[in-house]
Amino acid sequence: MTVISKMVGVYFRCLFVILMVAGSLLAKPKDCPEICQCLGKFVDCSSRNLDRILPSVPKWATHLELNRNRLKVIEALSFQHLVHLKALKLKRNQILELSDGAFYGPHKIEKLLLDYNNIRVISKGWLYGLTDLKELTVSHNNISAIDNESWEFCKHITFLDLSYNRLETLEVDTFKHLNDLQKLVLNNNNIRYIKENAFQDLKKLKILHLHNNKIWWTIEDGQAVFIGLNDLTKFNLAGNDIKSINKNAFVGLKNVTYLNLSNNNITSIQKDAFNEVPLLKELLINTTSLICDCNIRWLQDWVSAKGWNFNAQCAFPEKLQGFSLFNVSSSILTCNELPKPRLTKEPDVEIMALKGENVSLNCEAMSSSNSIMTFQWKKDNMEIINADITHNSTVVDNKTMIGNSQLNLRWVNNSNAGKYQCVVSNKFGTTYSNKSTMSVLVFPKFIKRPQNITVTAGETARLECAANGEPQPEIGWKKDGGNDFPAARERRMEYMTNDDVFFILNAKESDMGVYSCTAHNAAGTNVANASLIINDKPSFVKSMEDKEVIAGNIVALQCMASGRPKPNISWLKDGAAIRATERHFFTAEDQLMIIVDTTVSDSGIYQCHLANSLGEVSEHSRLVVKPGETYNNIMGIIIITVVCCAVLTSIVWVVIIYQTRKRPAMPPHPVELNEMADYRDNLTQPTLQLRHCPDNLSEHSSCKDSGTGDSAKRSSDDLVPEEFMVIISENGEMVPSHAPLLHYPRSTNHDRANNESDISVVQSDRD
């Protein structure tokens, strides 16, 4: 009993401690609001018909629930004192407005639940301050727009639920900054259009729910819409009214293992459409509308290789209607008929429309089935509502359906620019035309026109020109209709793009002309002209020159002038103004003065004076008029000239005769050469002695040689003095020589006789 009593005592003591601890935990803290319940750091104020945020919520709270109240507006800084708050639940209220900074203050909030309210827009204003937010749910609201940069202050969200809202479009920047997002729920919206690269920022996204929207065109005709979802593994596209699957529909989904395409009446799947999802392990498809022809054979083989099975029933041809594709032999899958619409005419790829014009786009299609074809026009992948569209359809041979559609655009304006597409569908599928890009053009219109300007040489000329239009016109300049700009060649031209101003620095006369500003775009070209006038001081193109003229002749004095305004030209002679007379003429705009029948009195200083509004300048020319020659003067000159010529001729003949008769003096005796005794011992310096020999003076005569060889008369060839040379040979012998190469005269018979006598004398002296 003692042991049992002790055990019972211990039991009751433990129970008492437990009850005491539980009581302390369940006891309401002193600062807990009366209408709320608090448990630890959890504060629950749900279902209290609150229409405003209680200011008495204790600041130590980490979790606050305000579900099922009547809150309509969350004012700014409503929770600023709850600095420890980590989770906030505001589900099932009537919230219409979230003021900017509504959740600013509690920087540690990680979970924010706003489901089942009337929020209309996601903006960064009310998300400001939620830097640690990880989970945000705003399902079952009326959200129709997500502002740009909305997620700038909450970049670390990993779970985002936007389901059951009114979103229609996903733009390129819709999810910008959500680089950490892993799960995105967008089901049950009205999403019709997903822009290319709309998911490019969701690099870590693993789960994406897009079921029960209207994005059938994305799968049927979209091009790489899902690029960027490299980590996506689960993708739900159920219930999007998808009829056909394009081969490029799943580009970028290389890691997807689960793909749900159920609740779509798929009629056709292009070959190799699932090659972009190589890791696919589970594919959900249930359709009863397949066109079982030759184009679907590949799906039989592909599903068989995977070992899968799903509900895919044929609707065409009629003989196969209701059969499972996987129970039909591939041999009977033929393409004899094409019930799906085929386009026979499409809009042009590019359409240029002037603003204000009417434009029509046409589309024609045919089908081997008599199923009614429906035409639809889309602009930028969005269906055109309330457009001026006309449709016509006819059935040929009770089998072939031919239809056409025309989209009429009246008074085209900038809002009509975009990409247009014709979509034709029947119960067997949908066909898309090429996208036609329409550009709305506006003819260039000048908003700044160049003005006629006048500047002084050396100053800066300023020409202004700007134009607008669609597309924005390009501005160009021409000078005198061409592209030759002296200022450009000399690097004196500047163009200020921002100010639409064209400058010519240090303006010169060569810059003067008509400048044309051209504004050009695809709609056409507009031109505006302006004249540039360069004023300059007067100057002389060519300096004036002095002139000499014989009296009676004509003389022209030039005064070539330049300057703008055109300078006034005045002529002066010796300081007095000159006026036009019978002998004085002015031409070439007074730049040339002509004097005819000049007289000596016309001699003097002629001055040309230039003047305009910028200055004046003068130059002069000296004119000398010489008297004319008379008849007597001319005859005197002729006589003097004749006499001088006669005298000069006489002098020349006298000189010639004198030179002819002139003879050199001959020595009176013969000359003998004596060598010194030591001649042979000193050959390098021989000493010659000359001895006079008698000469027969009678031999010299002015008469000519008879030519017989024995005449004692000297030949008239002997006109220059003779010279005699003794040549000493290598053996020491002396040899007389009359060397013709040394320009000595040729010897006559008389000379040869004298030479022989001289040699004999020399030999006798040797002996």
Contact 223/248 with Cβ under 8 angstroms?
A: yes
Q: How confident is residue 490, by pLDDT bands cut at 50, 70 and 90?
A: confident
Token reading at 31: 């600062």
Q: How many CB atoms lie within 10 A of CB 683?
A: 12
pLDDT at 691 over 70: no
Phi, psi (rounded to 5 degrees) for 580: -65, 130
pTM of full prediction above 0.85: no
Query: What pLDDT score does 116 carry?
Result: 97
686: pLDDT strictly greater than 90: no
Residue spans of the domains in the chain: they are 343-440, 449-536, 541-626, 672-766
| Interval 340-389: pLDDT, tens | 899 999 999 999 999 889 999 999 999 988 888 999 999 988 889 888 99
> Which residue type occupies 289?
S
Topology of the domain comprising 449-536: Immunoglobulin-like (2.60.40)
Residue 667's pLDDT is 52
pLDDT tens digits, one per residue of 310-352: 899 999 888 899 999 999 988 888 888 888 899 999 999 999 9
What per-residue confidence (pLDDT) applies to 630? 56
Residue 738: band (very low, low, confident or very high) from pLDDT cuts 50, 70, 90: very low
Q: Please say whether the beta carbons of 273 and 246 come within 8 A.
A: yes
Provide the percentage of residues in the chain whose pLDDT is more than 70.
81
Instruction: Report the amino acid identity of residue 666.
Output: M
**What is the mean predicted confidence (pLDDT) over 182-188?**
98
Distance CA 89, CA 65 (A): 5
Q: What angle do CA 535, 536, 541 make, to 5 degrees?
A: 135
Task: Decide if 449-536 and 541-626 have a common fold.
Answer: yes
CATH tag for 343-440 (out of 2.60.40.10, 3.30.420.40, 3.90.79.10, 2.40.110.10): 2.60.40.10
CATH number (1.10.390.10, 2.60.40.10, 3.90.79.10, 3.90.1170.50) of 541-626 reads: 2.60.40.10
CA angle 200, 201, 202 (to 5 degrees): 95
Q: In the structure, what pLDDT confidence band is assigned to residue 24 with cuts at 50, 70 and 90?
A: very low
Question: What does the pLDDT average to over 267-281?
Answer: 93
Q: Among 405, 399, 396, which residue's Cα sits nearest to residue 424?
A: 405
pLDDT tens sequence across 562-576: 888 888 898 998 888
Residue 235 has pLDDT above 60, yes or no: yes
